[in-house]
Amino acid sequence: MKPTESHWLRTVPRAAGIATLAYVVVWLGIVADWMWFGQLPPAVTAVVAALSIPIGIGWIRWALQPERRSDLLLSLTGSLIYPFWWHALLMTTVLLEQKWEFWSTVRARTAQLGTAALFVIGLAWMVWLLERGSTWYANRHGRMDDSDADLPPESGETPQELRAGRLPEPIEPHPAWHPLNLQAWYFNFSLMDWLLFTAVVVLLTAAAFLSPSRLALVPLAVGAVLLLPAAVRVVRLLCRPEVRQEGRPRRKLNQSLSGLMGYSLSFMLAYIVMTQVGGCSEVFELPAGGGEQKQIAQKVKIQKVIRRKFVINPFSAIRFKIPPIDEVKLQLTEITEHAYTVGYGQGTGAGYAGGTKAGKVRFIRLEYAGGDWDQDFGVGADLNMLVEYGIRTNQSVAERTESRRITDLRNFDIGKAPAFVFMTGQKNIVLSSREVKILQEYLLEKHGMIFCDNGGSRQFHNQFIAMMNRVLPTVRPVAIPLDDVIHRIPFPIPFLPFVAPHGGHEALGWKVDGRWVVYYHPGDINDAWTDDHSGVKPEIWEACYRLGANVMQYANAEYSKWLQARQQKD
Amino acid sequence: MYRTERIWPVLLVLLAAAAAPGLAQAERLDELPLDRWKNLREVERYQLNIAEKYYWKDKNYKVAAAEYEKFLTLYERSDGAPYAQLKWSQCLVQLRQLNTAIKDGFQSVVDYWPESPEAVVASYFIGNTYKEMGELSSARRAFRKVLEDYSEHPVAVYALNDLVDIAWIENDEDARVRYWKVLTFDTKRTKETEPSCLTRARQLAAYYFNRAAVAEGLKALEVTCKEEELPRVLVSFQYPWQYDKDRWHTRTGAQYSVSMLTTDEKTRAQGQKLADLLVAWLREQIPADTSTEELEQAVRQRWYDIAMLRSYALQDEEVLKTYQQVEKQFGTDDELLGKMAEWMKSRGKYDEARVVYRRFADPVQGQANIGYSYRQQGNYAQAVVEYRKAAALDNENPAKWLTEVANNWRYANKWNEAIATYMELMQVDLERVDQWRYESAVCHQAAGRYKEAIGVYRQCENFPSNYQKMAECYRALKQPSQAVVLYRQIAGGSEAHAPWAMIQIGYTWRDAGQREDAINALQAVCRKFPKHQYGSEAHAVLQRDFKITVTLGGGTDE
């Protein structure tokens, strides 16, 4: 005999159950912190998450014991353990990506695939519960569903005949509403109704996401057109009972479809709430210190190299050309002298007056849809630039580079937003209206800056220009002069270096109130920062590092100025 | 108060401009007038000539800047010194050192030679350079200073013109209209200022027409032409209106405003009202006297313009009535019939249009139009039949119609028929035999007969086009080596096509699965043409298709 549900529930060890419950509460706390608050270090979160592995193994072993072994119990145990183990795996990748950038991609994939698996597991349980619930309801109310083999004998027809819909069902005076009741009025829809309803839901959801863009009007309009016949049908069903009995639609199928639809929407809603609803704000702070906004002095060091004196035997059989005595080789070395600290404002050490002791220069890459935002991401390119910036400016820099979605920029409060974000790619850039607004807010209200690099195509150039036309419609891009501050400080750059001129030969800028809010490099500067420098000449990649440092320093200095101005104003 | 403050310098400009007729003599702002040139000493002229050569002819701005600087060092007190300083600044602008150009260049002209003509020009260039840098508020300040300080000079008009641009960028419609009005109504036209004033007057007219304000629009347009030309100008004036992707898009005539308003359901009534008002005004302009051929043609043109406006306003009945009016007044001719048929086609009435074409006095043209109408509908076989009829009617120009026949076969992807037609053309049109041979080879290639195509291409003489096509055929035949040989010949024989040919070698090896050869070829493109678009393309392909990061390119904008 198979053990019943109540049977195995009674065998749950009390102490282990309480301990697991306590662990679950702690785990929920760390998940909330990880997702929204970010107060605990990832290592602590990972350790707590890892505890779920022995706990989970213990429960699986318990479920596998012969006296209570059942597929249902095993499935339930596995399903309950899944989120914990998934989280543990995710935290492992988070820890690993701090060491090796490659794990960023693995982390992203784990998150995506894990979400998909969670959806499938939930769906399986939804189907099972619906089936069981429907049967329970039918038994309780003495009514069989149209898939039940044991149809009532008094009907005089075989179950197959009933299923085939030959017999009319009794007309109910009032419509049934219970979702487990197959006779509920809303299961009387045809497949076409379902398709219409699904289309409407999908289109309205799309409209909600695109709102308030003009594009939202398209799904809204189509949705409205599709909604009309569905609405008419619903009204007819509610008003005229006889209409509810027209034909014999597949009620069981409709119930399953409703379940699927309801579950999918709920899952989607929960996903949106979990991922989009911001928790505590993120914080970006510049390193404290000070410095001057001027060029680093170039110093030419001259070293006399006195040639060696030769003592020559004039009678030697070997001929030797004696160099003139006064020939002295001059060894000229151009070095960069740090005559002052790189930064802005009054303070000790290289940094910014608007910064804090804990602050660091960070290199944050922007994630966007439609293209390859992660081209040359992290170790081997971005990180090289960040490290070089630290070496060249003596400023405190972060240990690793990061990435954020455009929507994440909203989590940074005014005055605590990144001084700049970097973006690159060679494909398309797809932005929703909401993302456009977030970028506008970031650039104009949070005083941020976009440092964009064309990673490989004219198409990306056009995409970026089109994107900026949406973000800053009243600002036209201009070619940034070579003698602009951004090209002179701290390193003078007499020419614009590039790896490949994908978007022309001129750096473009968008200027608002005398400040560059966007610096666009047309020629794959990011490729010059890679470990192999894409094989370009040393003077080119050196200039690319300098240019990168200049743009970063410009963004940080402008941000610091603004912070100080705000402080004075307050 | 604020408005008055902004307007008075503008008015001063215009009054002063009227009192400065001599200024119109200068050809360009940044050229030294002849009368001052002749005052220079021989040595000064010699040095300036060297600098000018590098600036104007060689466009080597680095060297030119050095030569202008040399002039300034040697002849600081010369009459040409402010000019040399101005040109030095312009060299820096070309070298994209705009900040230096303003601070050390243009500003120095203003400070050291305030009385010189160059000081006026430099003041304007300060604003212009700020505008180029995206410093719009600084630019606006500089332009307003020009209006205040040098109101008598044409640069004041240029400054106003730039202020319109700035207002456009900043989407400040009030300011735009204000400056437009000044440039349209209050500015004296000179040779230098005429183009700017005309453009702005047309934009002002368009602005009013877009709001269905016909009287104001006509008033603005009146200043751009003679009175008798106004009816024609109303439907033919061109003006830049929309800035997109680094260039201005031009619109034509008041009909654009009618069309814009009528297309939108919400403003359709306003658009049709605008059309009614414009038509009413045009009707008033129709001369009663049609005694001469010219006058008759003018009257006809008015009616055609009215029909066009009605058509844009989607007032089809009125269009038909207008054409009937012309027919009644002047009788039928091909011009009228052609316009009627074109309008019918625009409404999808192709059969009716063809009936009208059949009424043409010139049967050849009528037949050709019928053929073209079938082509527009995608009925290529029938189009060929009609063009053949045209060819039969027009014995003097068989090549013209046979070309149309061949084109139709090509549109219909009927390659054999197209080739046969080109064979006919080779016999009929002996002067362009090579062209028809090439076209027939293109048809062979399109039909997938690559060997035949190569054979025909070999007989052609339009290098490197025929070699390019032959290489394409060899690639289609999976003979990459042959294609590469041809690409190398193109690279060697045509310098302009060398980057293209070399990257094609890379693509050929890539498609043939020869990875190493492809990488070498693409790296060679990056190395040899680092600043060329194909260098950029090769770099991207190496990274995308071969995951090769060492592309060996890299360069600077110098």
| ipTM field | 0.81
Average pLDDT rounded to a whole number, residues A228-234? 64
* Per-residue pLDDT band at B31 (split at 50, 70, 90): confident
Nearest to A495 among B99, B523, B558 (CB): B558
Average pLDDT rounded to a whole number, residues B71-94? 94
Is pLDDT of B67 > 70?
A: yes
> For residue range A281-317, what is the model confidence (pLDDT) as tens digits?
678 888 988 877 777 766 666 666 666 666 777 777 8
**Cα A216 to Cα A20: distance, rounded to the nearest angstrom:** 47
Provide the sign of the torsion angle of the four alpha carbons B456, B458, B462, B464, taken in this order: positive
User: Could you tell me if A88 lies within 8 Å of chain B, comparing CB atoms?
Assistant: no
Q: At what angle do helices A71-99 and A14-32 cross, to 10 degrees?
A: 40
Distance from CA of A456 to the nearest CA of B (A): 5
DSSP A3: P
**Cα A352 to Cα A364: distance, rounded to the nearest angstrom:** 18
pLDDT of residue A258: 77
Nearest to A536 among B100, B243, B554 (CB): B554
pLDDT of residue A207: 62
Is pLDDT of B22 > 70?
A: no
Query: Domain span at residue A446?
Result: 364-569
Residues A131 and A171 in one domain: no
pLDDT of residue A338: 56
Is pLDDT of A544 > 80?
A: yes
pLDDT of residue A149: 40
| Nearest residue to A443 (alpha-carbon basis) of A458, A459, A423 | A423
Cβ of B497: how many Cβ atoms within 10 Å? 18
Average pLDDT rounded to a whole number, residues B138-151? 92
Residue A202's SS3 state is helix
Q: How many folded domains does chain A comprise?
A: 3
* Per-residue pLDDT band at A181 (split at 50, 70, 90): confident
For residues B445 and A94, which has the higher predicted lDDT (pLDDT)? Answer: B445
- A-chain residues within 8 Å CB-CB of B128? none
**Cα B16 to Cα B19: distance, rounded to the nearest angstrom:** 5
pLDDT of residue A465: 93
Tokens of B273: 């009202």
**Cα B63 to Cα A394: distance, rounded to the nearest angstrom:** 39
| Nearest residue to B184 (alpha-carbon basis) of B214, B166, B208 | B208
Average pLDDT rounded to a whole number, residues B171-185? 93
* Per-residue pLDDT band at A241 (split at 50, 70, 90): low
pLDDT of residue A8: 61
Convert B431-441 to b/e letters by CB count within 10 Å (16 or more is b): eeeebbbbbbb
A553 is a domain residue: yes
Tokens of B221: 């347009």
For residues A104 and A518, which has the higher predicted lDDT (pLDDT)? Answer: A518
The amino acid occupying position B248 is: W
pLDDT of residue A345: 82
Residues A84 and A186 in one domain: no
**Cα B243 to Cα A206: distance, rounded to the nearest angstrom:** 31
Beta bridge partners of A367: A405
For residues A332 and A178, which has the higher predicted lDDT (pLDDT)? Answer: A178
Average pLDDT rounded to a whole number, residues B511-516? 93
Tokens of A291: 């410095």
Contact assignment for B539 to A524 by CB distance below 8 Å: yes
Residues A384 and A263 in one domain: no
Is pLDDT of A516 > 70?
A: yes
Give, in degrees to the nearest 5, the angle at Cα A130 between A125 and A131: 100
Percentage of residues of chain B with pLDDT beyond 70: 95
Q: Are A137 and A148 in contact (CB under 8 A)?
A: no
DSSP A443: I
Percentage of residues of chain B with pLDDT beyond 90: 78
| Nearest residue to B180 (alpha-carbon basis) of B161, B158, B152, B195 | B161
**Cα A468 to Cα B13: distance, rounded to the nearest angstrom:** 38
DSSP A306: P
Residues A54 and A123 in one domain: yes
Distance from CA of B195 to the nearest CA of A (A): 24
Tokens of A344: 């802005």
Residues A97 and A193 in one domain: no
Is pLDDT of B509 > 80?
A: yes
Residue of A nearest to B93 (CA): A481
User: Could you tell me if A520 lies within 8 Å of chain B, comparing CB atoms?
Assistant: no
A554 is a domain residue: yes
DSSP A369: B
With a CB cutoff of 8 Å and minimum separation 6, the contacts of B443 are B410, B415, B418, B419, B422
> For residue range A386-404, what is the model confidence (pLDDT) as tens digits?
999 999 888 999 988 888 8
**What does the DSSP assignment read for A167-197?**
SPPPPPSS-B--TT-TTBGGG---HHHHHHH
pLDDT of residue A174: 63
Q: At what angle do helices B155-169 and B136-149 cross, to 10 degrees?
A: 150
* Per-residue pLDDT band at A167 (split at 50, 70, 90): very low
Question: What's the mean per-residue pLDDT of chain B?
Answer: 90
Provide the sign of the torsion angle of the four alpha carbons A57, A61, A64, A67, taken in this order: negative
For residues A492 and A187, which has the higher predicted lDDT (pLDDT)? Answer: A492
pLDDT of residue B120: 93
Contact assignment for A511 to B100 by CB distance below 8 Å: no
For residues A299 and B134, which has the higher predicted lDDT (pLDDT)? Answer: B134
Contact assignment for A498 to B557 by CB distance below 8 Å: yes
Is pLDDT of A341 > 80?
A: no
**What does the DSSP assignment read for A373-418?**
TTTT-STTTHHHHHHHHHHHH---B-SS-EEEEGGGGGGBPTTSS-
Q: Are A426 and B540 in contact (CB under 8 A)?
A: yes
Average pLDDT rounded to a whole number, residues B522-539? 91
User: Could you tell me if A458 lies within 8 Å of chain B, comparing CB atoms?
Assistant: yes
Contact assignment for A506 to B555 by CB distance below 8 Å: no
Name the strand (E) or helix (H) holding A349.
none
Residue B58's SS3 state is coil
Tokens of B277: 């008002």
Contact assignment for B530 to A500 by CB distance below 8 Å: yes
User: Could you tell me if A50 lies within 8 Å of chain B, comparing CB atoms?
Assistant: no
pLDDT of residue A288: 86
Convert A127-148 to b/e letters by CB count within 10 Å (16 or more is b): eeebbeebeebbeeeeebbbbb
pLDDT of residue B304: 95
User: Could you tell me if B171 lies within 8 Å of chain A, comparing CB atoms?
Assistant: yes
Contact assignment for B536 to A543 by CB distance below 8 Å: no
Residues A126 and A206 in one domain: no
Tokens of B157: 């008009």
Backbone angles phi, psi at B94, to 5 degrees: -65, -35
Beta bridge partners of A335: A299
* Per-residue pLDDT band at A327 (split at 50, 70, 90): low
Residues A407 and A522 in one domain: yes
User: Could you tell me if A22 lies within 8 Å of chain B, comparing CB atoms?
Assistant: no
A378 is a domain residue: yes
User: Could you tell me if A221 lies within 8 Å of chain B, comparing CB atoms?
Assistant: no
pLDDT of residue A299: 64
pLDDT of residue A279: 52
Tally C-beta pairs within 8 A across A and B.
126
> For residue range A420-443, what is the model confidence (pLDDT) as tens digits?
999 999 889 998 888 999 999 999
User: Could you tell me if B100 lies within 8 Å of chain A, comparing CB atoms?
Assistant: yes
**Cα B377 to Cα B478: distance, rounded to the nearest angstrom:** 38
Residue with structure tokens 């066009």? B308
**Cα A361 to Cα A479: distance, rounded to the nearest angstrom:** 27
**Cα B206 to Cα B209: distance, rounded to the nearest angstrom:** 5
Last residue in a domain, options A244, A276, A308: A276
**Cα B404 to Cα B386: distance, rounded to the nearest angstrom:** 10
Tokens of B509: 């090896």
pLDDT of residue B2: 41
> For residue range B333-368, what is the model confidence (pLDDT) as tens digits?
999 999 999 999 999 999 999 999 999 999 999 999
Residue of B nearest to A522 (CA): B536
Residue with structure tokens 């569905």? A230
pLDDT of residue A69: 72
> For residue range A121-148, what is the model confidence (pLDDT) as tens digits?
988 898 888 888 888 887 877 654 444 4
User: Could you tell me if B98 lies within 8 Å of chain A, comparing CB atoms?
Assistant: yes
A300 is a domain residue: no
> For residue range A47-79, what is the model confidence (pLDDT) as tens digits?
888 999 999 998 888 888 887 778 888 888 899
Contact assignment for B551 to A528 by CB distance below 8 Å: no
A557 is a domain residue: yes
> For residue range A436-468, what is the model confidence (pLDDT) as tens digits?
999 999 999 999 999 999 988 888 999 999 999
Cβ of A243: how many Cβ atoms within 10 Å? 15
Residues A390 and A532 in one domain: yes
Is pLDDT of A92 > 70?
A: yes
CATH of the domain at A525: 3.40.50.12140
Residues A134 and A210 in one domain: no
- A-chain residues within 8 Å CB-CB of B531? 501, 505
Residues A235 and A380 in one domain: no
Q: Are A377 and A365 in contact (CB under 8 A)?
A: yes
Is pLDDT of A32 > 90?
A: no
Residues A182 and A44 in one domain: no
Contact assignment for A505 to B531 by CB distance below 8 Å: yes
Residues A75 and A191 in one domain: no
pLDDT of residue A298: 65
Q: Are A387 and A397 in contact (CB under 8 A)?
A: yes
Tell me which of A275-279, B170-174, B181-185 is least confident: A275-279
A467 burial (CB, 10 Å; 0-12 / 13-18 / 19+) is: buried
pLDDT of residue B326: 92
Contact assignment for B96 to A506 by CB distance below 8 Å: yes
Distant-in-sequence contacts of B238-242, Cβ < 8 A, 24+ apart? B238/B202, B239/B199, B239/B202, B239/B203, B239/B205, B239/B206, B240/B199, B240/B203, B241/B203, B241/B206
* Per-residue pLDDT band at A106 (split at 50, 70, 90): confident
Is pLDDT of A487 > 50?
A: yes
Contact assignment for B553 to A511 by CB distance below 8 Å: no
Tokens of B149: 């300080």
User: Could you tell me if A476 lies within 8 Å of chain B, comparing CB atoms?
Assistant: yes
CATH number corresponding to B2-192? 1.25.40.10
What's chain B's length in residues?
558
pLDDT of residue A114: 87
The amino acid occupying position A500 is: A
Distance from CA of A515 to the nearest CA of B (A): 9
C-alpha radius of gyration, chain B, whole number: 32
pLDDT of residue B311: 95
Highest mean pLDDT among A34-38, A110-114, B525-529: B525-529
How are beta strands A478-479 and A508-512 bridged, if at all? antiparallel
